[in-house]
Structure 1
Amino acid sequence: MTPNPSIDAVSTYRLTAGSPRVRIADWLAHEGLTATWHTYAGTADVLPTTVARHPLRILRAEASVRRGWPSQVLVLSREASPWSLGEVEETLLHRAERGVYDVDDAIFADRSPIRRAMRIDRKWARMVGAADVVVVGNDHLAEHAAPFARDLRIIPSCIEPGDYLAKTSWDLAAAPRVVWLGSPATEHYLEPLAADLGRLHTRTGARVTLISGPGSNPRLASIDHLVDRVPWSLSTVATALSEADVAIGPLDDTAYARGKCAYKLLQYAATGLPMVASPVGANALALERFDGVAVAAGGDWTEALEAVITESAARREARGRQGIAAVAEHYSFEAWSPHWRAAVLGS
């Protein structure tokens, strides 16, 4: 393999979506590499409602991905076609001189009716088995890939710490500010916390910044009065995070959630934010490294958040500075660059 081979990057999501951006595009930018991108229909997702709005675009995309193309290095994120049973991905990976399958979600555990009907577990086995190298973001994904993979590497999702605005003061705002970073598709993880956040507001005056989609969520209507929404964008997320006092990362303890790669916790840590999160999947180790507070299933989020808010500024600073140091050591592109190049480029 040449030092800088031609690379084809494949995803069903457009580049602003999390997985292809975080797991491939950001890595290519860090390494000074370029790729030819194949993003299916170029939509934000391939949910049935999206497909129904763009039928001709979907048909063209499906025809294109099934024709395929020769590749030196092909990096596949998640899947190449939502309609494939694994045969499309298998063909693309086999045709490449080096076929790399990268995944940061437990797609094998997706229990939606269409995924069950299309046997996503069998598709997972075919995709993993077809790759020369499989790159997963955590131990849970590795456990489920191991029976099928020929060459399995664990590389956590990484960030560029310099892209974030590290806090320089941990004194509280007049009204303490809690922040959550996510998307409309993951706001359901916040719903069980609504009552806890309401009690926290009553006790401390704390407000909640939601960095997500711009639209309101009816299932969070009970806390609308204490929520300030900030539409997510690459140009605004760092500032919005830096203005908070404490960050939250709730997850359900399910097979699907255990496959998540703690990416929002990395962003909190790079900002120097004390954090309270569910110790599920990759979150558990990240919380230990970042001196975060873990709230297990059934735990009291109000008490955990109030404890961080009422502790001394010096203690919050110690948490924040540990997070800044640990994210650079354990989750930065610089720390993992040799491993990524070896996995993807074979060098």
Structure 2
Amino acid sequence: MVMILGLDVGGANTKAASSDGSFTIIEYLPLWKGAPLEPLLRRLSAEARPEAVGVVMTGELADSFPEKRSGILFIKGAVERSFSCPVRFWGVSGFNWRDLADLAAANWSASAALVAEEVGDCLFVDMGSTTTDLIPIKGGPRAAKTDFLRLARGELIYMGLLRTNLAALLGAVEVDGERVPLSAELFAIAADAHLLLGDIAEGEYAVETPDGGGKDRESAERRLARTVCADPGEIGPEGVEAIARQARARQLELLKGGIRRLAEEHSLNLVAAAGIGEGLIREAARSLGLEVIRLSERYGSAVSEVFPAYAVARLLEVELGGR
């Protein structure tokens, strides 16, 4: 079989998948810190030995770039230098884009195009480490074409399962009968709450910790307590867990609100859930009485977690097969 590789180059993670789903990888690679993208791409080229590569990106928004165009050119150049096979970039209008701006944050578009073909009308919801896409599909994807407009329309929620700052989620928490404002610092992230609650294992804490410390339960407790300017001993294990539970509840509330509004607006009763936050999406959708398809059950968990990379590989396979 022809090996077609899909790449999703994000600001925090670079993901790859083959069109048959047998090869997947997620690599934490923070572009805003100057992480070496090309060495990873060259390694992927040597390991996968693809005959064609499809690419989507969101990393152009990393604040190491002065504007999106610079980021697009950086990513595009790095990919083209790293692979000797044909490389095709997917934009919000597909592979036949005309303006570089079409490539900006187009990974959701590839996912939605494939879901539209293989699932049909639904609300496609993909929750990653940093953001959540909510794409109405009714006779095809109906989302806005830019992140700015998707944010405005509720089709992009800047909240993920791991990297979201708790201070951006919660203005205050209830601890031991007191309503306490959270300190406006990067003391803890959503991954700390999910680790403490058992939603993720230590090995799934696949991002940097805010304090550079450990990814174990004790370290997470310390970070969570610090959000209310305390040590764990001051508020006790119940107080620390209360912070974690309220952070998770807030994420669930945001998901429910976004899903409810878009499902009602587009008269959709089916949610297709993908990403590392698939379980939270399912919980939110079911609480609204909506039917849920977990893409991990259809394609496997590894593919669901890198779905845009898999989708662009599948779409390129169809594109090349039609020639």
| TM class by smaller structure | 0.3 to 0.5
Structure of greater relative contact order (alpha carbons < 8 Å, 6+ residues apart)? 2
Q: TM-score, normalised by structure 2?
A: 0.38
Q: TM-score, normalised by structure 1?
A: 0.36
